[in-house]
Amino acid sequence: MTFNDMLRRTAMRLPEKTFLHWVDKDRSLTYAEGLELTEKVAGALWELGVRKGDRVGIFAHNGLDYIAAMFGAWRIGAISCHINVLQAEDVAYFAQNATPMVLIYTHDMFPIIDANRAEMPSIEHYLCMDGEQDGAQPPPLRLRR
């Protein structure tokens, strides 16, 4: 049984129960909302051509969008490659080693990403999770309210 299987089964049984609570933002997701966000991210990645075994980079702060990106990648069998925002100056190094085809990030990471695009040739698509930006795909969902 996978994490996505557990999420789906629990969403069917306890849809209104809290799946995750983001203490810093005092925001929660129910199991039903978590499943919906996971499916939206998975669908967006699928539309970009991500398939089982492909790598998806996640370059975002810890939070609900990070979890949705991770579960969305796993939902379609992709490999999530996590790049710590505390090592932002080394994003190109990590991308060169992980070779993701998509990089999911939060808007505040855009300047470092934009400055390093040429050094990250494996990345075909950039996906900003919390708003449209130049050079990025429109987000599949808006997690911040």
Q: Domain of 105: which CATH number?
A: 3.40.50.980
Other C-beta atoms closer than 10 Å to the C-beta of 102 total 25
* Stronger pLDDT, 136 or 124, i.e. the higher one: 124
How many domains, in total, are found in the chain? 1
Other C-beta atoms closer than 10 Å to the C-beta of 10 total 16
Residue 27 has pLDDT above 50, yes or no: yes
The pLDDT > 70 percentage for the chain reads 90
**Is residue 141 included in any domain, yes or no?**
no
pLDDT confidence bin for 83, thresholds 50/70/90: very high
**Is residue 142 included in any domain, yes or no?**
no
Amino acid found at 62: N
**Is residue 137 included in any domain, yes or no?**
no
Look up the domain containing 49 and give its range. Answer: 3-128
Residue at token pair 């539309």: 47
